[in-house]
A and B are shown apart, each in its own frame.
Chain A
């Protein structure tokens, strides 16, 4: 079943700018994209992004062995936002290269641990994780009631030009 993730180029530009910022001790930054969902024909899903929640500097744990580790306070803030807004939350981080990005093994195992927690606070909407490169994007989407994530079929960057990043099979 098709899963589309749509995001405006202006919002995506702001997210990249935030993620490019140096952190005092973490190797990289992460954030959360807020989105709302709609059904597509044939059981598909359209996730439309509308905002971005940055992770505060002091919500990162000092773990030099990984790129970024968000502590309990950071995750709690994201969960609270999802609860209040009843929105979808997509964790986002950036790999510094050009072309199609994909999650590392550590990313995949961590995503599988914390993304399902969002269903405790916003159970009806999908949640997931997005990975950006300098010029492309990809992601995984968990649907309500489903244990396994699905590769996002297309990330569509709405703007001029319109960019379509097709999902890869993993």
Chain B
């Protein structure tokens, strides 16, 4: 990452969100962050989500980005197309299998429960609430992470685990965020006990 291009990196997340919603933000970030950043899958975006409605997808995309946001270190879940990963997985679930159909329904209901909670807390659907209020909704459900009871709290666990899986198995997550150096032939010093260690 070049020091000459601090502009996009220095944007606070709030500023980024102000600039535009959704995938449009990804383009300047991807350009700034170099070739490893996930390219904007224009064709994919144009085709639209395969499982969720457009509105559900926007909500999901925002939730994933709130869970793993772009920060000064690397792009977040939106750039890593985590929502598209979740959408594709669920689209692939054959509803003829009861367990898969239940999971599909649980995701739709889960997104609904987040909206519902937002209405209860702020009198507005999640995507219509301010950034601050959205974070407050997530803080509410995340507080009960270890002992989730309400539908929204339970959904948060599922949402977070799929988001983490989608993100940390993506190009952005592996190469930019985690800077993983493996999966290549190592020069040879992976083996051999270092003097003094045993």
Bind each other: no
List residues of A whose CB falls within 8 A of some B CB. Answer: none
B residues near A (Cβ < 8 Å) are none
